[in-house]
Every structure is written in C-alpha cells, then in structure tokens.
Amino acid sequence: MHANETVALVTGASSGIGEAAARRLAREPGMRLVLVARREERLRALAGELPAPATWVATDLTDEDAPQRVLAHVEEQCDGLALLVNNAGAGWRGAFGETGYETVRRAMELNFDAAVRLTEALLPALRASAPSAIVNVASTSARVARGGAGAYSASKFALAGWSDSLFAEEKPHGVHVGLVLPGFIKTEGFPATELRERALTRWIVSKPEKVAEAIVETGLRGKAERYVPRPYALAAYARILFPGLTRRVLSGGSAAALTTSTATDATDRESSA
C-alpha cells in the first residue's frame, strides 16, 4: 500500500449492494479495494473497471478457512486495513413449521457467523490502522419481522445486536462500527418486479447505489446507522411503541403480498443484504 492510501474490503462484491459499494468507495481519494465474493470472474471484471486499485479473493465465506484466506491476502497485498464492509448475505424463505431449524442454520451461518468470523480475523489489522471502521449491512428485517422470513430476520437481528455491542467495545481502540439497514432493494437476487409494478408500493423499493452512499456515511463519515430508504426507520419505531398494532399490520393481507415478493435467489447470495 502506498502512502495516503485507504484500504477498504467489501464482501459480497460480485453484484448488488456489494458491487455498488465497491464502485462508490473507489471514487474516494486514495482508496484501494479488496473485493471478496464467490464468483472470481465477476470480481476480476469489476476490479478492471474501478477507478482505484483493486485486488480480490474468491471464496465462500462459510468455508472453514475463508477468514484466514482473506487475512493472508490483506497481509500480503496491503499495508493495513481502514474499512471492513460485511455485506455478503442471503435469505431462504419458508415458515418455521415447514422448513425447521435447517433454514435458520443456513441463514445464521452466512448472514451472522461469517461476518463474525471474518471480523475476528481482521480486527487486529483494523485496530492497527485506527482510526478505522467496520460497516455491517443488516436489514430493516433486523428490527421488524414478517411471517415466512423468520430465519432471515433472526440472522439480521443478531447482526444488529452484535454491532451495537461491538461499537461500544471497539470505540476505545479507534474502530468505529456502523450499521446499515436496507429495506427492499432492487438487485439481481431480488428484482422486486411485483413491488415496482404497483404505484402503491413502488416508492418502497430503493437502489443499491443508495445503500452504497449509506455505507460511505457509516464507514467513512462516522454515522452510527442508516436506514435505506430513510422512512423505513418509522417501522422500527412503530415496533417499539406499538408492538401489537405492528404485528397485526404485518400479519395482514398486504403484508403477505410483500412477504411473497421478498424471496431471495440463494444462488446469488452475495447480492442480497
């Protein structure tokens, strides 16, 4: 790493929010990127298009050796690490009575455990590079849960809770921990076609580029957390102030339609937040 370079590592960088975050971060002065995802051909292509130096690690973050592989790459290619963006994630749908523990296990393994394991491996580098930052990309499902998405919500609730604790623990070490909570975001894994076709629900679907800006705000500008779109924060407040009403609303017919539209393509799991 050359003098005045800022190294940022983005997981799930092959498409969707991760790709948008990489493109946005690459526009920051002195930025150097490390791109992490499963699909090497996409990472190689993206690295060649960015206006900043970029390398990549093609790995499945649920693999046993993934954190050490990423750490070895950072130690070999970079002199420090200023920003870690834990973005890789996915959702597997289904009611618990039908899908059981296995769906919960899969969601936790990628959406929570993988982020924790990677952070553990890279935390010494982040502390050594302080002031530095970690951004965990959760979801509005980390605050409000819908039927059929319990496994996804559980993993994102865990990520949000852990982020709050990590913020307090790492502040003395100069490592800021930010949280981004996207709502419905149009990505390859979630085209949101049904929602975008309805005038009543079109407004609730945002773009990966908006989430990328939130990642910059929480990672480089010191914000604590950001909802995307911002009005989604109202749902979180309603859950606290009016829990019974919120549950009834989320169990109604319109909520069921939204739940049906949130299915994620697990084959492209890095694109999902």
Of residues 190, 25, 239, the one with CA closest to residue 92 = 190
Q: Which residues contact 259 (CB under 8 A, 6 or more apart)?
A: 146, 147, 148, 149
* Three-state secondary structure string covering 79-148: CCCCEEEECCCCCCCCCHHHHHHHHHHHHHHHHHHHHHHHHHHHHHHHHHCCCEEEEEECCHHHCCCCCC
Question: For residues 223 and 228, what is the distance between their CA atoms, to the nearest angstrom?
Answer: 14
- 76, with CB counted inside 10 A (0-12, 13-18, 19+), is exposed
Catalytic residue among 152, 227, 232, 237: 152
Instruction: Please report which residue ranges of 171-223 form alpha helices under DSSP H.
Output: 193-197, 208-219
Clarify whether 232 is annotated catalytic: no
Question: For residues 149 and 95, what is the distance between their CA atoms, to the nearest angstrom?
Answer: 7
Catalytic residues: 152
